[in-house]
Amino acid sequence: MAAEQATTANSRLSRQLGGTEQTWCKAVPGGTGITVSALLFSKPPDFSVVSDAVGKLQTAHPILSCQLRHDPATGFYSYVTPATPPLKIQSFDRASTAEILRELANSPDGGDSSVSDFHLILEHEMNRNAWQSPDPESHVDSDVFFASVYTLPGVAGDKLAVALRLHTSACDLATAWTLCMELMTLLGEEGIIQRELECETKIAPAMEDCIPEEKIRKPFWARGIDMFGYSMNSLRLSNLSFEDTESPRASNLVRLQMNREDTHRILNGCKTRGIKLSGLLSAAAMISAYSSKGLPDYQQEKYAVVTLINCRSILDPVISSNRAGFYNSGILNTHDIRGGEELWELAGRAYTAFANAKNNNKHFTDLADLNFLMSKAIENPGLTPSSSLRTSLICVSEDTLVDDHGSGVEDYVVCASAHGVGPNIAIFNTIRGGELDCTCVYPSPLYSRKLMLELIDGMKRILVEAK
């Protein structure tokens, strides 16, 4: 009886990864798919309190206690839960953090005086790749969850940065946001544990196991045509001009922030026109990218936009919004830009193309195709322009994450690395206290911070001036 109970418990806390999760296991070693939730506390809680809160997160979400196990015979990965899940949390005191900041300041993009210490620590966490050099023959399981605490200098005293770093196969943007909000709530403004979390009883199933069969079915000939179309289109896509294609890459970020008045105006514009903010951000990015090249208006560029969809509510069974795991799918649309486009017209065109594809279940029927092509790009970088591994101009989330309750912290950011396979720029769009705040991640030194700041400043100007 005891053996039977152990087997049952193990089955709840272990399973083979689904197709999308397997693809992330290929992507993360190259640098794409390290998800980070980082919070900056101006009134630092004690380390013991932070450690207790992180432990509660791990207990509430069983997948955070998992390790990735590779089977050399099949090539597949599985989630397994050790008998005593370790709590991987590191603490860096003021001197250790200062040394890290000095090293970061000497990096190609680190010397910008406008970049805060918290910003640098966030970039540092995105590039701490515990999965970079996996040895399939070593039979050593890899943790999916790490936490770090950094002591930063402040004018009125030390501050504390808390970073949660996860393997994206176990953590999509919605999960990262949930963990950020839960940690914020656990610690509270007074730095004490204020409430308990609702605990999951088992690892949630893979997304592919929850897609209704009628929505994923696709004739063989249609799959072949779509694969051919994706492959041919990829050769015609335009990117931002590459600056350094040879040096080792890392993920850096810039932020697109707008005040409450401008945010309210553009959100009203989206509502009036029946489109989502993701369509408007995509349009602004395409116009800004085209303008940055100084091309004559008649010269056409073809840009790809990947829109990520949180599929939880449309799966069977439905996955709750705060359930940890990876439940994102994407739709890739291409748009021809000739210069002189009007923002709202292009935004409407971009969003309509996305919405039509979603209504036709392209986020499900093309899921395996896009995973396959992503794997092929990872294995054969030469299939992409200048071996850059760039697959689209922009990646943006369909739904913007909203925090209307006030954070109780000085700052917080949720994002993921993208310097392996991925877009020119990945936009993690949020609205906080009524103000737009987008974290924009890019591969450096393929692009410089100067170039990205120009692109983002262009986007902001386009959005502010939109009528």
Per-position b or e across 375-391, b if 16+ CB within 10 A of its CB: eebbeeeeebeeebbbb
- Give the CA radius of gyration of the chain: 22
Alpha-carbon span 152 to 46, nearest angstrom: 14
pLDDT computed for residue 408 by the predictor: 73
CA distance 450 to 122: 18
Residue 46 and residue 221: Cα distance in Å, rounded?
A: 60
The reported pLDDT for the residue numbered 138 is 57
State residue 248 phi and psi, 5-degree precision: -55, 145
Per the CB < 8 A criterion, the answer to whether 422 and 373 are in contact is no
Helix, strand, coil share of the chain (percent; to 5): 40, 25, 35
The CATH code for residues 8-187 is: 3.30.559.10
Q: What is the pLDDT of residues 342-357, one digit of tens each?
A: 999 999 999 999 999 9
- What H or E segment, with its residue span, contains residue 312? none
Which residue in 239, 286, 298 sits closest to 422, CA to CA? 239
The domains of the chain are located at 8-187, 207-465
Tens-digit pLDDT string for the chain (467 aa): 333 333 344 456 789 999 999 999 999 999 999 999 999 998 888 999 999 999 999 999 999 999 999 998 888 999 999 988 778 799 999 999 999 999 988 776 766 667 899 999 999 999 999 998 655 555 678 999 999 999 998 877 799 999 999 999 999 999 999 999 999 988 865 545 555 677 888 899 999 999 998 887 765 445 555 554 555 566 688 999 999 999 999 999 999 999 999 999 999 999 999 999 999 999 999 999 999 998 887 899 999 999 999 999 999 999 998 899 999 999 999 999 998 899 999 999 999 999 999 999 999 999 988 898 899 999 999 888 999 999 999 999 999 999 987 667 899 999 999 999 999 999 999 999 999 999 999 999 999 999 999 999 999 999 999 87
Instruction: Write down the pLDDT at residue 230.
Output: 55
- How far, in Å, CA of 260 to CA of 279, rounded? 20
Q: For residues 211 and 301, give the distance between their C-alpha atoms in angstroms, rounded to a whole number.
A: 35
Nearest to 415 by CA among 220, 211, 238, 164: 164
Looking at residue 146, its amino acid is F
CB 130 within 8 A of CB 146: yes
Residues 108 and 442 sit within 8 Å (Cβ to Cβ): no
Strands 77-80 and 15-16: antiparallel
Q: Give residue 5's pLDDT.
A: 39
In degrees to the nearest 10, what's the CA dihedral of 196, 202, 206, 210? Answer: -90
Give the CATH fold of the 207-465 domain.
Chloramphenicol Acetyltransferase (3.30.559)
Residue 432's H or E segment, with its range, is: strand 422-432
pLDDT at 114: 74
pLDDT > 90: what percent of the chain?
Answer: 71
pLDDT of amino acid 383: 86
The CA distance from 132 to 115, in Å, is: 26
- Whether the domain at 8-187 and the domain at 207-465 fall into the same CATH topology: yes
Q: Tell me: the pLDDT tens digits for 159-211? A: 999 999 999 999 999 999 999 999 998 886 554 555 567 788 889 999 999 99
- DSSP codes joined into one string, 209-265: GGS-HHHH---HHHHHHHHHHHHHHHTT---PPPS-SSS--EEEEEEEE--HHHHHH
72-78 long-range contacts (CB < 8 A, ≥24 apart) are: 72/136, 72/137, 76/16, 76/17, 76/22, 77/16, 77/17, 77/21, 77/22, 77/25, 77/169, 78/14, 78/15, 78/16, 78/17
β-strands 89-92, 159-167: how paired?
Answer: unpaired
> pTM of the predicted model, to two decimals?
0.92
Query: Residue 295's pLDDT is what?
Result: 87
Per residue in 310-342, is it b (16+ CB within 10 Å) or e — as a string?
bbbebbeeebeebbbbbbbbbbbbbbebeeebe
**Which pLDDT score, from 0 to 100, does residue 244 have?**
95
One-letter amino acid of 129: N
Site of tokens 């050099």: 133
Measured distance CA(64)–CA(53) in Å, rounded: 13
State whether the Cα torsion 453-409-49-413 is positive or negative.
Answer: negative
* Helix, coil or strand: residue 456: helix
**Quick one: pLDDT at residue 232?**
52
Give CA separation, 354 vs 313, 334, 358, 362, in Å: 18, 10, 6, 9
As a whole number of angstroms, the distance between CA 404 and CA 77 comes to: 39
Task: Determine the Cα–Cα distance for residues 260 and 435; give it in Å rounded to an integer.
Answer: 5
Q: What is the pLDDT of residue 303?
A: 96
Considering only CA atoms, which of 398, 392, 447 is closest in space to residue 421? 392
Q: What's residue 416's pLDDT?
A: 98
